[in-house]
Amino acid sequence: MSDCYLPRLGGIEVQVADLVRMQRESGHEVELATATRGEALPGVHRIVARVPFDLPVHPAGVRHLTRRLAGSRPDVVHVHTGAVSPFAWQGVRAAVRLGLPCVVTVHSMWDPVTRALYRLLGTAYGWQRWGLVATTVSNAAAVPIRAVAGPRVPVHVVSNGLDLSGWRRFPAESGPDDRGEVHVVAVGRLAPRKHPVRLLKLLELARSRVPAEIALRATVVGDGPARASMERYLARHGMTGWVSLPGRHTREQIAKVLESADVFVAPAPRESFGIAALEARAAGLPVVARSQSGVADFVSDGTEGLLGPDVNALADAVARLSVDRELRERITRHNRATPPAAGSWPAVLAGFDRAYAEAAARPPARPN
């Protein structure tokens, strides 16, 4: 179950669609319930209501989902949630009402507001006593969930699944000095929660710390509601000559950009996993990211990239990699020679199978 699904495009939507496909290919019988409108797809049940802006919510979701689950009696119910996912949690209630094993995957990083909300819901509904098994996509994302869920809810880390083979195509050997510049790349939705303007500040700080004789170029791939504010920032700070915002790219176009890049930056402070960063890591690039984010699960400081606690430290890291060609090339050689372990579909499928077995072995509980 997932609030959002195709044809909406986003991290959760694509990840759930890929998981459904891979589980079917491995022999599971998989059906999906979603509140997202769209075309009819085999095994996809769209439980939609007339709500403003086609939001993926349903005021009578528990009733509809209870009827659907009572008819099919699945072996396990797997619910996918973001920070706040009303339809998905209606699915949890429906599963627990029927005594069905339930696994909840949290795809987001719980911030203080979200933690306070789930503590309140725990007080009101006692969801920690429902016999749930939880998974999340990184160790960083697991920490706040465990703090709220307590000892009654096991929280396991099962990373996002990715086919990284298409990203491991390396350009012919030619150092950045041969091109006369260092190319820094970032990829992601230009949404306020990703702090994209802060990324521009980071690039500005890095430029100020790199000697003038080293040419620096930056490309920020993506689109979203923060694009206009980013364009204003670039114009106001005289950065339009070396920072470009080319908009949204296809996977093939992103792969081409990464082939020309020297450093990848993933600055979001609450990145639960970091799909774009893992793709860049697979493409051989040194990755600069927050030490508190999910990226730290597959980037060790000084080995696959450089990690830092804040914007200032990340700017230092970008500047260091721009100046220190030997360090940059050492990390690149390591990343090209060593495929990342994170994202392996066999490992992901095995992780979920273990969670399903654990949920099935737990005694059923009833919601309040």
Token couple for 345? 């579909």
Q: What's the pLDDT tens digit per position in 206-240? A: 999 999 999 999 999 999 999 999 999 999 999 99
Task: Note the maximum CA span of the chain.
Answer: 69
Main-chain phi, psi angles of 235, to 5 degrees:
-70, -40
Residue 100 above 60 pLDDT? Answer: yes
Residue 86 three-state SS: helix
Q: Which CATH number fits domain 165-337: 3.90.1720.10, 3.20.20.70, 3.40.50.2000, 3.40.50.1980?
A: 3.40.50.2000
Burial class for 88, CB neighbours closer than 10 Å (0-12, 13-18, 19+): buried
Burial class for 311, CB neighbours closer than 10 Å (0-12, 13-18, 19+): middle
CA dist., res. 297 & res. 312, Å (int):
22
CA dist., res. 89 & res. 8, Å (int):
19
Planar angle of CA 219, 309, 283, nearest 5 degrees: 40
pLDDT of residue 308: 97
Q: What's the pLDDT tens digit per position in 160-218? A: 999 898 888 887 665 444 557 999 999 998 988 788 999 999 999 999 999 999 999 99
Q: For the whole model, what pTM was predicted?
A: 0.87
Q: What is the pLDDT averaged over residues 270-289? A: 94
- Helix axis angle for 196-209 and 311-323, nearest 10°, is 50
Please choose, from the candidates 255, 258, 191, the residue with its C-alpha nearest in 3D space to the C-alpha of residue 222.
191
Q: Where is average pLDDT lowest: 10-14, 196-200, 349-353?
A: 10-14
Same fold, 11-161+345-361 and 165-337: yes
Rounded CA Rg of the chain: 22
pLDDT of residue 175: 46
Q: Domain 11-161+345-361 is of which CATH architecture? A: 3-Layer(aba) Sandwich (3.40)
- Helix axis angle for 11-25 and 345-361, nearest 10°, is 80
What percent of the chain stands above pLDDT 90?
A: 84
Higher pLDDT, 168 or 94: 94
Q: What's the pLDDT tens digit per position in 27-80? A: 999 999 999 999 999 999 999 998 887 888 899 999 999 999 999 999 999 999
Residue ranges per structural domain of the chain? 11-161+345-361, 165-337
